[in-house]
Amino acid sequence: MRNTVEILGVNVDKLTFKEALEVAWGLLKSDGVSAIFTPNPEIIMCAKEDLQLREILNNADLCTADGIGVVYGSKILKDPVPERVAGFDLTCALLERVSKTDDGVFLFGAKPGVAEIAKANLEEKYPGIKIAGTRDGYFKPEEEEEIVNQINQSKAKLLLVCLGAPKQEKWIAAHKKDLKVNLCMGVGGTLDVLAGTAKRAPKIFIKLNLEWVYRLLKNPSRIGRFAALPKFVIEVFKAK
Ligand code: UDP
């Protein structure tokens, strides 16, 4: 039985990073196709209007609080999640563990060439890791069946889907029944960071819960996306 807090209609797991990692590991090691999503305030705001997305998030096997806004949201509701569980960190911790097994990983998403650089970097960072296949995230609808076949033929157990939200969540939901992997994770810009085409904020920003400020400074065109944060806080207060 999952222990979750409902934030604007989205159920978010109340787990520490370590606990979330154990759950993710359990899902990877069990049969059937599981899904993990890591919603931030922007995705939760999106799911407020988009019922299909909300249902997809609520049907996931694990939904972690990515983004400090979600942590604060749960505090406002007086039902706090213990800490932030960023999708990127959870993915890296899982990849490290997977590298000690024979389980393959498929990297799907980002611009052409990015997943291949991420593969090379991962092979250096986690010796023993088996990257079973890669595929960029720019495709036509008629190519989707072939992508599913490519993933299945790779025999990967873990599938990272990095198409940005809500595209990745919807892609996973649409193809889950045809996939033969054990675990799909919708983890946005993770491949860009693994490939070095995007940078994670310096540790001090992360520690002070200011990673979003760093991202905004680096990429001011994201300002529209960050406008979701104050709206999110207002909506959570209203919901309370
Ligand atoms: N992306 C993709 N296909 C698309 C749209 C986006 O593969 O049709 C990729 C994009 O290249 C980037 C990733 O999705 O690598 C996520 O981008 P973003 O930084 O917007 O992710 P988020 O902030 O949602 O984690």
* 17: helix, strand or coil: helix
- Residue 222 CA to chain centroid, in angstroms? 19
Pocket test for ligand 1, best of 116, 163, 193 (most atoms within 8 A of CB): 163
Nearest to 14 by CA among 57, 55, 65, 89: 65
Are the beta carbons of 123 and 204 closer than 8 angstroms? Answer: no
* CB distance 222 to ligand 1 below 6 Å: no
- Check residue 56 and give its pLDDT: 98
Q: What are the 10-residue block averages of pLDDT along the chain, 240 residues in total?
A: 95 98 98 96 95 98 94 96 96 98 98 98 97 98 97 98 97 98 97 91 82 80 77 91
Pocket test for ligand 1, best of 162, 168, 172, 187 (most atoms within 8 A of CB): 162
Q: Which residues contact 235 (CB under 8 A, 6 or more apart)?
A: 8, 45, 48
* CB distance 36 to ligand 1 below 6 Å: no
- Check residue 219 and give its pLDDT: 80
Between the CA of 118 and the centroid of ligand 1 the distance, in Å, is 15
- Check residue 7 and give its pLDDT: 97
* CB distance 39 to ligand 1 below 6 Å: no
Q: Going by CA atoms, what residue is nearest to atom 5 of ligand 1?
A: 163
In terms of residue numbers, what domain contains 151? Answer: 4-239
* CB distance 162 to ligand 1 below 6 Å: yes
Q: Which residues contact 1 (CB under 8 A, 6 or more apart)?
A: none
Between the CA of 168 and the centroid of ligand 1 the distance, in Å, is 9
> Where are any strands of DSSP class E within the chain?
4-7, 10-13, 34-37, 62-63, 104-109, 130-135, 158-162, 183-186
- What CA–CA distances, in Å, run from 162 to 20, 99, 143, 193? 20, 20, 17, 11
* CB distance 192 to ligand 1 below 6 Å: yes
* Three-class HEC string of 149-165: HHHHHHCCCEEEEECCC
Q: Which residues contact 216 (CB under 8 A, 6 or more apart)?
A: 222, 223, 226
Angstrom distance (rounded) from CA 91 to CA 129: 13
Q: Going by CA atoms, what residue is nearest to atom 24 of ligand 1?
A: 164
| For the CA of 165, the nearest atom of ligand 1 | 24
Q: Vertex 211, ends 210 and 215: CA angle to 5°? A: 120
Q: Is 78 left (phi over 0), alpha (psi -120 to 50) or beta?
A: left
Backbone angles phi, psi at 155, to 5 degrees: 60, 20
* CB distance 164 to ligand 1 below 6 Å: yes
- Check residue 2 and give its pLDDT: 93
- Check residue 111 and give its pLDDT: 97
* Total domains in the fold of the chain: 1
Q: Going by CA atoms, what residue is nearest to atom 11 of ligand 1?
A: 110
What amino acid occupies position 112? P
pTM of the model: 0.94
| For the CA of 139, the nearest atom of ligand 1 | 8
* CB distance 56 to ligand 1 below 6 Å: no
- Check residue 222 and give its pLDDT: 74
- Check residue 226 and give its pLDDT: 72
Helix, strand counts (H, E) of the chain: 13, 8
- Check residue 75 and give its pLDDT: 96
Instruction: Report cis status (omega within 30 of 0) of the bond before 127.
Output: no
